[in-house]
Amino acid sequence: MINVCDIQVMKPLLAAHGFHFSKAKGQNFLVAPWVPASIAEEAGVDRSSGVLEIGPGMGPLTQQLCLRAGKVCAVEVDNRLEPILRETVGEFDNLDILWGDVLKQDIPALVARQFPGLRPMACANLPYYITTPILSALLEADCFDSVTVMVQKEVAQRIAARPGTADYGAFSVFCQYYTEPKYLFDVPPHCFVPQPKVTSGVITLRRRESRPWDIGDPAVFFRVVKASFAMRRKKLSNGLASGFPELGKAGAEEVLQACGFPDNVRGETLGIPEFAAIANAIAGRRSR
Ligand code: SAM
C-alpha cells in the first residue's frame, strides 16, 4: 500500500499528475499517518461497518477505512484526483468512489444502496468551507450510527459545548438533538499540506438511541432554538417575540412564565428539555 502521508511519496505523485491544491475546495491533505489511523480506530470501524467518506483527497483516510470496514463509499468533488486515487486505493475491492458534490447527494438513498446489511457510519477530514452544511445533512439524514469528523477545533468545541458556556449555540443544540458528541483529539496545522491557519479537532457524534424529550413538532422546536440564540445578549422573551411575531412580546412572556422561567431568562443557559417545553407551549397556544 502506498504511504500517501509520506511527503516524499505525496509530492512526486501530485507532480506526476500535474495536481495543484485548490483552496476553494478546502484541500488540506494529511501528511501525518497517525491521524487517519486514529480517526478510523476511534470511530470503531470494523467489518460490520459501511462507511461514507467525504472528500478522500489522495486517500490516506480511505486506506485506513478500507482496511477495517465491510464497505467504503467515498464522495469526492474534484475529479482531477481520479488517477491519483487509482494508484493509492485502486487495490481495495470494498471501495466505491462517487464523483460529485456531497451536498447534492440523497444521503439516505445512497446509504440504503451502498450499505445493505451493514452498520452505516460517516468518517471524514471535512472541507472546512462547508463543514456546517455537510454535518447538517449527515445528521438530518438520521441514518448513521456515528459521524466521526475532523473540523476546525473551534467548530468541534461549539458542537460539544454545554449550556451556559460561550461556545454554546444553535448548532450545539442541533447536533446534540441528534447525537451525543465527544471531542477526541487535536490535530496541529503541521499535520497537513498545505498547512491550515488553525488547529483542527476530531470529534465523534454518536447517534442517540432515544431522544428523551417529548417534542410535539420538531420544526417549532428548531424555530425556538434559532430565535433563542438570534439575540444572544437580550432576554429570551425578546428573541421569541421576534422569531414568533404571531406571539408578540406579551405572548412570549406568557409562554416563558407558563414554563416556569424567570422574566430575565436567557436562551444560552437552556438545554434541550427546556427548549422542548417552550416549543410545546407555543404549539399548544396555536391549537387552542
Ligand atoms: N481526506 C483527505 C485527507 O485527509 O488528506 C482530503 C481532505 S481535504 C480537507 C477535503 C477534501 O474534500 C478534498 O479532497 C476536496 O476536494 C473534497 N471536497 C471539497 N468539497 C467537496 C464537496 N462538496 N463534495 C465532496 N468532496 C468535497
Ligand 1 center–CA 27 separation, angstroms: 6
What sign does the dihedral 156-161-166-168 (CA atoms) show?
Answer: positive
Atom 12 of ligand 1, residue of closest alpha carbon = 55
**Phi and psi at residue 236, to the nearest 5°:** -60, -35
Per-residue pLDDT of the chain (288 residues), as tens digits, is: 999 999 999 999 999 999 999 999 999 999 999 999 999 999 999 999 999 999 999 999 999 999 999 999 999 999 999 999 999 999 999 999 999 999 999 999 999 999 999 999 999 999 999 999 999 999 999 999 999 999 999 999 999 999 999 999 999 999 999 999 999 999 999 999 999 999 999 999 999 998 888 898 999 999 999 999 998 778 899 999 999 999 999 999 999 999 999 878 888 999 999 999 999 999 988 666
DSSP reduced 3-state for 218: helix
| Domain architecture of the chain: domains with CATH | 7-207 (3.40.50.150), 218-286 (1.10.8.100)
Q: What CA–CA distances, in Å, run from 45 to 60, 204, 207?
A: 15, 12, 15
What span, in angstroms and rounded, lies between the C-alpha atoms of 273 and 168?
15
Q: What is the pTM of this model?
A: 0.94
**Cα atoms found within 13 Å of the Cα of residue 176, Cβ hemisphere only:** 23
55 alpha carbon to ligand 1 midpoint, in Å? 3
User: What Rg value do the Cα atoms of the chain yield, rounded?
Assistant: 22
C-alpha cell read off for 209? 438511541
Query: What gap in Å lies between CA 34 and CA 183, rounded to an integer?
Result: 17
Buried/exposed 27-37: b ≥16 CB within 10 Å, e otherwise: bbbbbebebbb
Q: Which residues line ligand 1 (CB under 6 A)?
A: 25-30, 54-57, 60-61, 75-78, 101-103, 125, 127, 130
Please give the C-alpha separations between residue 280 and each of 77, 212, 223, 285, 286, in angstroms, as whole numbers.
41, 15, 12, 9, 10
Q: From the CA of 222, how far away is ligand 1's center (Å)?
A: 29
Is 155 within 8 Å of 129 (Cβ atoms)?
no
